[in-house]
């Protein structure tokens, strides 16, 4: 398969190869899903399955192109990343998602607030979580009571606004 | 004729450089020195800006 | 009626106290997000979409446009005083503006930026008003195939033609188009790519996706960077007013910047920042003080700051007249129109002239508000710069999730926000542009609908797409815009580099 004309090969970009594989999967899912649709093309011959099919094939083609660029090492240099701050923010969003309907908007969002602040260097969670909850509660009060936005209420919100 | 072609080519390559620099900065990357030179921007001074 | 009469009527609409209030909120918010690094107009409008759901359509759209204009003003402040552009369209301003500030000439730098923005905004908005009717007249003959061709052109130019990699631009675009397929098919009612999940039947929310890409992805990317720069505000010393010499050196760059920025904004190539770089290159070539460039030349602030405001107005030309977004912010504004059941384009000028002309006229008013807001009140905005990064980003994420929860308080929607946020982070990390995926998601369903309409009119004959001269020309340009840059790149970067070096004389 490989032609060793360009020796030594430039660094092979494994991460970019994973992206190519991901594109193959997405393209495959699109083709699989469009195969299952009844194609009611009617006069035009172009039905609901046509565009997903084209996009699916295009993604497959782009995956092949990505793989070639990855093998040739054509992807741009990536700045080194600090993993922990990124994970703190992801954890904050995940925590908010899971707590939202149990603990209500203020507590769930306060935790997101504190985790994000920690990712950017405010490390003292014992201080930032209460600040976050108070801030989120003020925001909740303004948006749900004044602007009539539907934001989930929890024990804290029910305590202060008993009628919700 | 040749002159006209040259000035159009030069205008186009300036436009191309502007777009390249714009798309690089959008992604917080340092743009290519050649593109910056084309726009008359000093690369060392440009890189001092906190993107 | 002439454009002038329509504009006068529009001013009548825009002078309504409620509309003035919306415009004022818009420009104030816009200036604030322009000043704050990390949030831009695209994100702000996306965050406000769910909040404005129940408000007045005209007022909300006036507010969105005010945010766009205001962002262009505010971005210059951080560039000049902090060397940290608040907005990508103000990057080049930092080059000369911050040097001026360090020499104690921060006042004149801020003044030439604000006055230049005002003049550019004024001229460009008038150009918008007087050009729009003729484009609308032209666009009224457009059928489905012409619209389809126009959208194909937008897809190509946004994703492949001008970015630094056609591969990554196209990948981002097709991911957007793939996401656009999710949900119930508009014409046949069949569920596509929803895998039996009821939440997916309505399709992917544009606001969730935009907020995730611009707010969550950006926050993750900034948090992950190893090198964290410490910002230091340069105090404004000396007079804030421009002297006679500053005026003499500023007025031509303002005008040139306006006429560079306006067409660039209308071109489907990306954002307002392209015009700023071109304006800088022009000013450097034409200046009588080349030695000052790089050390605080006022022309290098005046030109680009005029160009970015003119670009913002230029972007509105294709958006309002054709319904075609040419930048990420315009794409989100299109989503804003759609939220109120409005489809920008030639028909909107006919069916709802009060709204369209009220919007255009209110831009003139917003522009005047911005001048007042930015020159005398500059000290107030500088205070905003002292918000520490942890609180700033924590606040951004709080409001980002607030918008999503407000639109749909479900764990599923938040899960999508998180997933797209991570996708946005990975895309930034690997150098994938963000605008094409957003444009693909918003324009994808419209392009598909037009294509299928065109083909059912022709009973499945694909050649119909090139049988109309307008559609054929548009598709031809799209093909050229896709192929020519690929050939140019393939011809070897070394050759291009040496050629460029040779032209530098």
> Could you give the ipTM of this predicted complex?
0.90
Q: Do B26 and C434 make contact, defined as CB atoms within 8 angstroms?
A: yes
Report the C-alpha gap between C339 and C54 in whole angstroms: 10
Tell me how close the Cα of C98 comes to any Cα of chain A, in angstroms.
26
Q: A157: how many CB neighbours lie within 10 A of its CB?
A: 22
Q: How many CA atoms lie within 13 A of B45 on its CB side?
A: 18
CA-to-CA distance for A99 and A118, rounded, in angstroms? Answer: 19
Report which listed range, A144-148, C160-164, C204-208, C231-235, is most confident: C204-208
| pLDDT tens string C14-68 | 888 999 999 999 999 988 888 887 777 888 888 888 778 778 888 999 999 899 8
Nearest to B28 among C82, C221, C497 (CB): C221
Decide if C124 contacts C297 (C-beta within 8 A). no
User: Per residue in C82-94, pLDDT tens?
Assistant: 887 877 788 888 8
pLDDT tens, position by position, for chain B (51 residues)? 677 778 877 877 888 788 888 877 777 778 888 888 888 888 888 888 776
DSSP string, C399-415: HHHHHHHHH---HHHHH
In angstroms, rounded to a whole number, what is the distance separating the alpha carbons of residues A109 and A150?
15
Average pLDDT score over residue span C464-474: 90
Q: Which residue has the higher pLDDT, C27 or C187?
A: C27
Q: Residues of A numbered 122-141 whose beta carbons fall under 8 angstroms of chain C's beta carbons: which are they?
A: 122, 128, 132, 135-136, 139
Cβ count near C150 (within 10 Å): 25
Return the pLDDT at B3. 77
The verdict on A106 touching C (C-beta cutoff 8 Å) is no
Which residues 6+ apart lie within 8 Å of C168 measured at CB?
C430, C431, C432, C433
Per-residue pLDDT, C373: 87
Using DSSP, state whether A6 is helix, strand or coil: coil
Q: Which one of C76, C88, C157, C164 would you mutate to disrupt binding with B, by most B Cβ within 10 Å of its Cβ?
A: C164
Give CA–CA dist C68/C242, Å, rounded.
Answer: 26
Query: Per-residue pLDDT for C187 more than 60?
Result: yes
Q: What is the per-residue pLDDT for C473?
A: 92
For the CA atoms of C149, C154, C156, C160, the dihedral, rounded to the nearest 10 degrees, stands at 180
Do the Cβ atoms of C47 and C215 come closer than 8 Å? yes
**What is the DSSP code string of C128-161?**
HHHHHHHHHHHHTT--HHHHHHHHHHHHHIIIII
**Which residue segment(s) compose the domain that C335 sits in?**
3-503
A157: Cβ–Cβ under 8 A, 6 or more apart, which residues?
Answer: A104, A105, A106, A137, A140, A144, A164
- pLDDT of B44 reads 83
CA distance C442 to chain B (A): 21
Q: Cβ contacts of residue C1 below 8 Å, gap of 6+?
A: C9
Average pLDDT rounded to a whole number, residues C228-244: 71
Closest residue of A to C181, CA-based? A52
Mean of the per-residue pLDDT values of chain C: 86
Measured CA to CA, the distance from residue C326 to residue C314 in angstroms comes to 10
Nearest CA-CA distance, residue C439 and chain A, Å: 15
**Residue A7: what pLDDT?**
42
Q: In chain A, where are the structural domains located?
A: 14-72, 83-160
Assess contact for A102 and A135: CB atoms under 8 A. Answer: no
Pair of tokens at residue C54: 């129940």
Query: Residues C419-464: pLDDT tens digits?
Result: 999 999 999 888 888 888 998 998 999 899 999 889 888 888 888 8
Helix, strand, coil: what percent of chain B each, to 5?
70, 0, 30
- Structure letter (DSSP) for residue A81: B
Using the predicted structure, report yes or no on whether residue A37 has a pLDDT greater than 60: yes
**3-state DSSP call for residue A154?**
coil
Tokens of A65: 């192109």
A15 touches chain C (CB under 8 A): yes
> Which partners does chain C have (≥3 C-beta pairs < 8 Å)?
A, B
pLDDT, average across residues C341-353 = 89
Question: What CA–CA distances, in Å, run from C85 to C77, C238, C253, C391?
Answer: 8, 23, 20, 19
Mean pLDDT over the full length of chain A = 85
Please, which pLDDT band fits residue C498 given cuts at 50, 70 and 90? very low
Question: Average pLDDT for residues C472-499, to the nearest whole number?
Answer: 72
- For residue C413, which of C50, C64, C54 has the smallest C-alpha distance? C50
Looking at residues C293-307, what average pLDDT do you find? 91
Q: What is the pLDDT of residue A2?
A: 41
Asked if the model's pLDDT at residue C494 lies above 50, the reply is no
Q: How many CB atoms lie within 10 A of CB C384?
A: 17
CB C211 within 8 A of CB C400: yes
B-to-C residue pairs, Cβ atoms closer than 8 angstroms: 95
User: Angle between the C57-82 and C17-35 helix axes, to the nearest 10 degrees?
Assistant: 30
- pLDDT for the residue numbered C272: 76
End-to-end CA distance of chain C, in Å?
Answer: 52
pLDDT confidence of residue C495: 46
Q: What are the phi and psi torsion angles at A81 (to 5°)? A: -115, 145
| Residues of B contacting chain C (CB within 8 angstroms) | 10, 13-29, 34, 37-42, 45-46, 48-51
User: What number is the average pLDDT over the span C404-413?
Assistant: 86
Q: C50 or C373: which carries more pLDDT confidence?
A: C373
Q: Under DSSP, is residue C192 helix (H, G, I), strand (E, B) or coil? A: strand
Dist CA A78 CA A21 (whole Å) = 19
Measured between CB atoms, which of A41, A55, A121 is closest to C390? A121
**The pLDDT value given to residue C505:** 37
| Nearest Cα to Cα of residue C214 among C53, C43, C467 | C43
Mutate to test the interface with A, among C405, C440, C493 (most CBs of A within 10 A): C405
Which chains share 3+ C-beta pairs under 8 angstroms with A?
Answer: C
Interface test with C, best of B12, B19, B29, B30 (most C CBs within 10 A): B19
A93·C397 Cβ contact <8 A: yes
Write out the two tokens for A52.
Answer: 């997903």
CB contact under 8 A, C397 and A149: no
Q: Which helix (H) or strand (E) holds C103?
A: none
Asked whether residue A110 carries a pLDDT value surpassing 50, the answer given is yes
Banded pLDDT at C491 (limits 50, 70, 90): low
Residue from C178, C199, C409, C428 to probe the interface with A (highest A Cβ count within 10 Å) = C178
- Separation in Å, CA C358 to CA C13, C155, C174, C349: 5, 30, 36, 11
- Cα A23 from Cα C311, distance rounded (Å): 35
Range C206-221 average pLDDT: 89
What single-letter DSSP state applies at residue A150? -
> Cβ A15–C430 below 8 Å, yes or no?
yes
CA dihedral C282→C285→C290→C292, nearest 10 degrees, is 10
Closest CA to C267 of C333, C343, C319: C319
Q: Which of C282, C280, C275, C332 is nearest to C308 (CA)?
A: C275
Exposed, middle or buried: residue C141 (CB in 10 Å: 0-12, 13-18, 19+)? exposed
CB contact under 8 A, A112 and C398: yes
C214 pLDDT exceeds 80?
A: yes
> pLDDT, tens digit, for every residue of C413-431?
999 999 999 999 999 888 8
Rounded CA separation C67/C143 (Å): 33
Q: What is the pLDDT of residue C504?
A: 40
Q: How many domains does chain C have?
A: 1
Q: Is the pLDDT of residue C230 over 70?
A: no
- Chain A neighbors of C451, CB-CB under 8 A: 46, 51
**Does the distance separating the beta carbons of A29 and C460 come in below 8 Å?**
no
Q: Does A40 touch chain C (CB under 8 A)?
A: yes
What percentage of chain C exceeds 70 in pLDDT?
92
Residue for token pair 């989120």: A136
Which residue of chain C has the CA closest to B46? C95
Measured distance CA(C456)–CA(C448) in Å, rounded: 12
Chain C: nearest CA to B19, how far in angstroms?
Answer: 5
Distance CA C261, CA C52 (A): 30
Q: In this predicted structure, what is the pLDDT of residue C294? A: 84
Residue A84 near chain C (CB below 8 Å): no
Residues C70 and B35 sit within 8 Å (Cβ to Cβ): no
Q: Minimal Cα–Cα distance from C331 to chain A, Å?
A: 21
DSSP run (H or E) holding A151: none
Which chain B residue shows the shortest CA-CA distance from C81? B49
| Per-residue confidence (pLDDT) for residue C102, from 0 to 100 | 87
Contact C273 B25 (CB under 8 A): yes
Contact present, C216 and C420 (Cβ < 8 Å) = yes
State the residue for tokens 């700045």. Answer: A79
The Cα–Cα gap between C173 and A54 comes to 13
The pLDDT of residue B39 is 86
CB contact under 8 A, B38 and C500: yes
Map tokens 């107005």 to a residue: C313
DSSP string, C229-292: PPP-PPP--S-SS--HHHHHHHHHHHHHHHHHHHHHHHSSSS-THHHHHHHHHHHHHH-S-GGG
Q: How confident is the model at residue A6 (pLDDT cuts 50, 70, 90)?
A: very low
pLDDT at C466 over 50: yes
Span C188-197, mean pLDDT? 83
């Amino acid at each position: 398969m490989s032609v060793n004309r360009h020796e030594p090969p430039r660094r092979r970009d494994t991460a970019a190869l994973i992206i190519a594989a991901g594109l193959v999967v997405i393209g495959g899912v699109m083709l699989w899903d469009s195969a299952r649709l009844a194609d009611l093309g009617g006069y035009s011959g172009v039905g609901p399955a046509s565009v997903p099919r084209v996009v699916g094939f295009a993604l497959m083609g782009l995956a092949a192109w990505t793989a070639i660029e990855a093998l040739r090492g054509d992807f741009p240099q990536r700045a080194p990343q600090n993993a922990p701050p990124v994970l703190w923010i992801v954890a904050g969003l995940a925590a908010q998602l899971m707590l939202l309907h149990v603990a209500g908007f203020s507590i769930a969002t306060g935790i997101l607030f504190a985790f994000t602040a920690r990712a950017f260097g405010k490390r003292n969670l014992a201080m930032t979580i209460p600040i976050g909850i108070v801030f989120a509660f003020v925001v909740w009060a303004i948006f749900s009571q004044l602007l009539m936005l539907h934001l989930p209420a929890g024990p804290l919100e029910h305590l202060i606004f008993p009628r919700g | 004729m040749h002159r006209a072609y040259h000035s159009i080519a030069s205008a186009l390559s300036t436009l191309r450089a502007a777009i390249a620099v714009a798309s690089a900065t959008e992604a917080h990357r340092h743009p290519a020195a050649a593109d910056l030179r084309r726009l008359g921007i000093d690369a060392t001074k440009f890189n001092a800006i906190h993107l | 009626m002439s454009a002038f009469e329509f504009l006068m009527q529009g001013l009548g609409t825009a002078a309504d106290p409620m509309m003035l209030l919306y415009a004022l909120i818009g420009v104030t918010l816009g200036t604030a997000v322009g000043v704050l690094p990390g949030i831009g107009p695209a994100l702000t409008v996306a965050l406000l979409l769910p909040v404005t759901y129940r408000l007045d359509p005209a007022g909300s759209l006036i507010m969105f446009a005010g945010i766009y204009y205001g962002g262009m003003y505010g971005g210059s402040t951080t560039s000049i005083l902090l060397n940290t552009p608040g907005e990508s369209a103000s990057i080049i301003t930092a080059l000369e503006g911050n040097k001026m500030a360090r020499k104690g000439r921060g006042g004149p730098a801020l003044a030439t930026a604000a006055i230049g923005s005002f003049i550019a905004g004024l001229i460009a908005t008038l150009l918008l008003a007087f050009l729009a009717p003729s484009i609308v007249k032209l666009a009224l003959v457009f059928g489905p195939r012409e619209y389809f061709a126009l959208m194909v052109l937008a897809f190509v130019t946004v994703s492949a033609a001008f970015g630094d990699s056609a591969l990554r631009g196209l990948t981002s675009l097709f991911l957007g188009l793939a996401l656009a397929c999710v949900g119930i098919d508009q014409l046949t009612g069949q569920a596509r790519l929803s895998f039996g999940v009821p939440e997916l039947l309505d399709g992917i929310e544009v606001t969730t996706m935009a907020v995730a890409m611009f707010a969550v992805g950006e926050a993750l990317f900034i948090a992950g960077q190893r090198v964290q720069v410490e910002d230091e505000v340069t105090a404004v010393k000396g007079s804030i007013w421009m002297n006679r010499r500053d005026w003499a050196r500023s007025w031509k760059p303002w005008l040139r910047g306006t006429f560079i920025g306006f067409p660039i904004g209308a071109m489907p190539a990306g954002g307002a920042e392209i015009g700023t770089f071109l304006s800088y290159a022009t000013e450097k070539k034409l200046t009588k003080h080349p030695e000052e460039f790089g050390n605080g030349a006022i022309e290098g602030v005046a030109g680009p700051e005029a160009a970015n405001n003119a670009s913002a107005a230029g972007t509105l030309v294709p958006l309002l007249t054709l319904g075609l977004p040419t930048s990420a912010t315009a794409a989100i504004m299109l989503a804003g129109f759609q939220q109120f059941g409005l489809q920008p384009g030639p028909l909107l000028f006919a069916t709802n002239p009060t709204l369209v002309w009220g919007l255009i006229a209110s831009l003139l008013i917003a522009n005047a508000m911005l001048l007042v807001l930015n020159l005398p009140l500059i000290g107030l905005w500088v205070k905003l710069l002292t918000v520490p990064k942890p609180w700033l980003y924590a606040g951004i994420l709080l409001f980002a999730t607030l918008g999503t929860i407000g639109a749909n308080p479900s764990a599923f929607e938040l899960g999508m926000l998180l997933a797209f946020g991570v996708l946005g982070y990975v895309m930034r990390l690997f150098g994938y542009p963000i605008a094409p995926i957003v444009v693909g998601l918003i324009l994808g369903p419209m392009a598909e609908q037009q294509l299928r309409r065109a083909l059912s009119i022709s009973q499945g004959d694909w050649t119909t797409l090139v049988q109309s001269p307008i559609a054929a020309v548009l598709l031809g340009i799209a093909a050229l815009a896709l192929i020519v840059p690929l050939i140019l790149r393939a011809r070897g970067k070394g050759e291009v580099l040496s050629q460029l070096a040779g032209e530098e004389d």
